[in-house]
Chain A
Amino acid sequence: MRVSVQLFARLRELAGQADVDCDVADGATIADVWRAVAARHPALAPYASSVSCARNEDFARMSAPVHDGDAIAFLPPVSGG
């Protein structure tokens, strides 16, 4: 199945693109999507322990399952305010 991935801020700059399509196996989780994206863009790997994520514009856990067509977002540590 295929999910779309959105990268923000420094993650986007490190990957060189804001939007990535990602193919993952049935039963995959957001963590699996992260690993697939980080494999394609190794510069993202150091963010494994600090990244947070969203699924279909809602906060999610990395352990959450994904479904075909989901929109996943990976968020580096935030700095609003």
Chain B
Amino acid sequence: MDLWDEGPKVQGSKGPKVLPAYTEGMSLLAITRQPLRAEALAADLERQVQSRGEGCGGICTFLGVVRATHQGRRVRHLEYEAFEPLALKSFARIESEVAREWPAAAIAIHHRIGRLEIGEASVVIATAASHRAEAFQACRYAIERIKQIAPIWKHEFFDDGEAWVEGATADVDDEAARQRARDIAACA
């Protein structure tokens, strides 16, 4: 069940209205076909961590956005595909890795699938921690790990053709890759 499914239609005086898909308390880790809402996700995350440890002193959000060009070619739109159950497990793995590296931090990850237009967000990551350094580092770590292990694929459509983007071979046991993500995060 996709938690971002459209809610029930409400009949009002001005005709049918679709309720906002985002509801408070929905899963912090999700794959969805609906537009992403970074602010709402950050607010949910903040509510979850405000009572934890020293409390929440900073939230870092990252949005991956559909770019209009790829290697000089003009992109018309993208389509993302995921192996959803395994992608959610990879997000849970990243969450537990973040908890190990930055015990005071918490994370939310929503990744969109289906057709996306230029400028739309494909992924939103929110990290919350008692202090900003942990929030920034955990957020950078998470996007690097998503690119390494999440079974999600980007299909680009150009004016003159299309191409699947193929990055890393997903290998959750590759400790060298995980270390690279840690090293990159340390500079965040």
Interface residues of A (CB under 8 A from B): 6, 8-10, 13, 50-52, 54, 57-59, 61, 73, 75-81
Pairwise interchain contact A52-B164, C-beta atoms closer than 8 A: no
Give CA–CA (A57, B82) in the complex, Å: 12
| Least CB distance, A34 to chain B, in whole angstroms | 13
Q: In the complex, what residues of B have CB within 8 A of residue A75's CB?
A: 83, 151, 170
Contact code string B148-161 (vs A, CB < 8 Å = 1, else 0): 11111111000000
Pairwise interchain contact A54-B151, C-beta atoms closer than 8 A: yes
The count of A-to-B residue pairs whose CB atoms sit within 8 angstroms is 89
Q: Tell me if B188 counts as interface (CB < 8 A to partner A).
A: no
| Least CB distance, B147 to chain A, in whole angstroms | 5
Q: In the complex, what residues of B have CB within 8 A of residue A59's CB?
A: 86, 89-90, 149, 170, 172
Interface residues of B (CB under 8 A from A): 64, 80-83, 85-87, 89-90, 111, 122-123, 143, 146-155, 164-173
Say whether, besides A9-B153, A9-B164, A81-B64, A54 and B83 are in contact (CB < 8 Å): yes
